[in-house]
């Protein structure tokens, strides 16, 4: 359905879905289904605050990658999005050196062609200048359509990354759009993705459980 309407990307493994019981094995099945439908996948991974405090970040990421991408040989249409759960919506971001090392670790899990690794988690116009200096990050993920008061900030963020030749994705959060199973609502999301409000970026629908 998503492909027929005009969607090109789908986000799988987002923390909100994981919190609702989406397992790594189910994520693996969803990724395979999306690839078979010729959709590009943004595969979200990330550790919780308790896991971070217990210094389990790398073991958690390894497990998510290993199971989530099991038996998937062609990964050319898969982007990884590192989204530490503790950073989402908190206004906090990892220390630059920590973030650089984590992204390096993620890329080290792939022997052949390195995947594009995006960062998501409290990305805004205040921390953009810091984040763009981390040169192993390939792009950024902004979750949800920005409210009116922050659209200028998001536009500024988009312009910065556009100049850096990096990917910028604005994601329509399902909680904000309600039931996106309807074709009419999905069509509105896709039309919004083509609007001037997100110049320099792309908008993707993040479904609760569609694949």
Catalytic positions, written as ranges = 14, 83
30 contacts 15 by C-beta, under 8 angstroms: no
Angle at 9 between CA 59 and CA 4, to 5 degrees: 140
Return d(Cα 51, Cα 181) in angstroms, integer.
Answer: 34
Burial class (CB in 10 A: 0-12, 13-18, 19+), 184: exposed
Rounded Cα gap, residues 205 and 186, in angstroms: 8
Among the listed residues 70, 96, 94, 68, the one whose alpha carbon sits nearest the alpha carbon of residue 83: 94
Q: CA-CA distance, 18 to 208, in Å (whole number)?
A: 10
Say which DSSP state 147 is in: P
């Amino acid at each position: 359905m998503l492909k027929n309407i005009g969607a090109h990307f789908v986000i799988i493994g987002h923390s909100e879905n994981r919190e609702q019981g989406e397992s790594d094995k189910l994520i693996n099945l969803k990724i395979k289904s999306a690839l078979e439908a010729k959709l590009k996948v943004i595969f979200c991974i990330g550790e919780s605050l308790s896991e971070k405090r217990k210094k389990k970040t790398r073991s958690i990421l390894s497990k998510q990658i290993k199971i989530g991408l099991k038996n998937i040989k062609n990964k050319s249409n898969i982007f990884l999005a590192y989204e530490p759960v503790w950073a989402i919506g908190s206004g906090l971001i990892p220390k630059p050196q920590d973030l650089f090392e984590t992204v390096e670790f993620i890329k080290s899990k792939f022997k052949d062609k390195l995947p594009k690794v995006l960062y998501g988690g409290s990305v805004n116009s205040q921390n953009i200048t810091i984040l763009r200096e981390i040169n192993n990050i390939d792009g950024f993920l902004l979750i949800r359509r920005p409210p009116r008061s922050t659209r200028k900030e998001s536009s500024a963020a988009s312009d910065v990354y556009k100049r850096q030749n990096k990917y910028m994705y604005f994601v329509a959060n399902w909680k904000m759009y309600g039931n996106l199973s309807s074709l009419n609502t999905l069509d509105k999301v896709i039309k919004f993705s083509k609007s001037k409000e997100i110049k320099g970026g792309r908008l993707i629908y993040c479904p609760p459980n569609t694949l």
